[in-house]
Amino acid sequence: MTIKKILIAVLFLVSLETWSQTTNLGGNASLWLGNQASFYFGGNTTLNGTVTNNGEIISYSDLDFVLNRSVGSLRFVGDGDQNLLGDTLDVTNMVVDKAGNSNVLLQTDRVVVSGMLDVTNGVVQAEDELDLLVSGSSDGNGQGFVEGKLVGLSTGQAVTFPMGVNGSPNYITLSGTTAGSVFRVEIAQPDFTDVRTDADIQAISEEVEWVITSIGNGSDGQLTVDFSGVNLNTQNIELINADVYQPAVLALVDGDSLYRVLLSAEDPALNFRAADLPPSAGTITVENLIAISEQPVRLALGWIPVVDDIEFYVPNSFAPAGNQMENQTFRPFLSGDIITTVSISVFNSLNQEVYSVSQSGDNLDLSLFGWDGTLPSGQQAQSGVFYYNIVLVSSTDRFTQSGAVLLVR
């Protein structure tokens, strides 16, 4: 059906429907939709003419705005995949409420949502850079998600990025950011090539990773992660002795090769014991500020030991060439306190010093210290027993231990 000219003036709350296979609004035609009105398109729709939408356009299939820019509020429904086409589209509110995980594919230069982005159900696929920009707000309560990239403009309030991957929603919310800052969030499966983890990290999810960057001026911010569909159950790992473990957000700063744990607000409901399966869904709020700049920050999910009290632990063996990364370096472990001084000395059976370090600071990271089995000559030490003296000073106490450690090759 080709409509050469159509003028619809709707002043009250009504619904107009077209269920033709295809709809084509001619180049000289005008479509005017009044406030609180809804217009349903059941088939593929091409809008060559002028569209003025003060209500809501509801589409079950492909929707092409051709040369239209300001298109009002859009709602995508139904159980089939849809394409949204056009140039740069200014959308007031965009609702995606699809059956299952059917897709809305953005084949536009850009979609700018000035009001609310609500992905209740379904998947929005944004293929190209800056495909989808949210300058208003977004709903964090849906089960649908954006797959790929999403750009958001901070108004100084919390902004939720309704992201997801592998059929599961994994939303992330930035709060406390500087108004006017623009952030890009990309979600994908992580690539752990040449990446290590902090020694406290017991496992890391292979299902989801967020990459956050700032477009223009950077900003500090806090984040909350709502995750689902992840598997944190890793077999045959050497646990740091603890009664309880919990999921955590991990951060990898561009140029670094070590994931580190971000300080999170503990949620006892997510805690689990070593004999139990880790939770596959939950919410984690990170307490410390994240510096977001033009350099990407990669975020992943892992699990770590929960320490109720201060725990000091020194292993009795280590294997520099072993498979367990946390056991490749001989070092002490201290959890539950801030470390201000580290002193480690290691000797061979002839009482010759083979490793020594001593450093003080405001908040030292113990994972950066330790002996990897390399002798002062640069050669690798052979298997055998070595002897150590360790002194750690924390903000509340002093910990010392001397003893023997077995190096295993």
Of 355, 365, 339, 337, the residue nearest 405 (C-alpha):
355
> What span, in angstroms and rounded, lies between the C-alpha atoms of 94 and 82?
14
Please tell me the predicted confidence (pLDDT) of residue 330: 95
Of 383, 390, 392, the residue nearest 348 (C-alpha):
383
Please tell me the predicted confidence (pLDDT) of residue 403: 95
Please tell me the predicted confidence (pLDDT) of residue 383: 93
- Decide: 249 and 301 in contact? Cβ < 8 Å: yes
Cα-Cα-Cα-Cα torsion 291, 297, 301, 304, nearest 10 degrees, comes to -60
pLDDT tens, position by position, 90-123: 999 999 999 877 899 999 988 999 999 999 999 9
Please tell me the predicted confidence (pLDDT) of residue 408: 92
- Decide: 336 and 309 in contact? Cβ < 8 Å: yes
DSSP assignment letter at 371 = B
C-alpha pair distances (Å), 158 with each of 79, 177, 187: 31, 8, 19
- Decide: 35 and 55 in contact? Cβ < 8 Å: yes
> What span, in angstroms and rounded, lies between the C-alpha atoms of 150 and 331?
42
SS3 326: helix
Please tell me the predicted confidence (pLDDT) of residue 75: 96
SS3 338: coil
SS3 211: strand
DSSP string, 78-144: ESS-EEEEEEEEEEEEEEEEESTT-EEEEEEEEEEESSEEEEEESEEEE-STT-EEESSEE-SS-S-
Contacts of 301 (CB under 8 A, 6+ apart): 204, 205, 208, 225, 227, 230, 232, 247, 248, 249, 250, 284
Please tell me the predicted confidence (pLDDT) of residue 35: 87
CA distance from start to end of the chain: 78
- 406, amino acid identity: L
402: exposed, middle or buried (Cβ count in 10 Å: 0-12, 13-18, 19+): exposed
Cα-Cα-Cα-Cα torsion 329, 194, 261, 288, nearest 10 degrees, comes to 130
Degrees (nearest 5) of the Cα angle 289, 290, 294?
Answer: 150
205: left (phi over 0), alpha (psi -120 to 50) or beta: beta
Please tell me the predicted confidence (pLDDT) of residue 359: 95
SS3 368: helix
Half-sphere exposure of 184 (CA within 13 A, CB side): 19
Per-residue model confidence as pLDDT tens for the chain (409 residues): 343 333 443 333 334 445 556 778 887 888 888 888 888 888 899 999 899 999 999 999 999 999 999 999 999 999 889 999 998 999 999 999 998 778 999 999 889 999 999 999 999 987 676 688 888 888 888 889 998 888 888 878 888 999 998 889 999 999 888 888 889 899 988 887 777 777 677 778 888 999 999 888 888 889 999 999 888 765 445 555 667 788 899 988 767 778 888 878 778 888 887 778 888 899 999 988 888 888 889 999 988 877 656 778 898 999 998 776 678 899 998 877 789 999 999 999 999 999 999 999 988 888 889 999 999 999 999 999 999 999 999 888 899 999 999 999 8
Please tell me the predicted confidence (pLDDT) of residue 238: 54
Q: What are phi and psi of 357, to 5 degrees?
A: -150, 145
DSSP assignment letter at 262 = P
pTM of the prediction? 0.68
> What span, in angstroms and rounded, lies between the C-alpha atoms of 116 and 169?
18
- Strand-pairing partners, residue 96, are 76, 119
> What span, in angstroms and rounded, lies between the C-alpha atoms of 252 and 26?
52
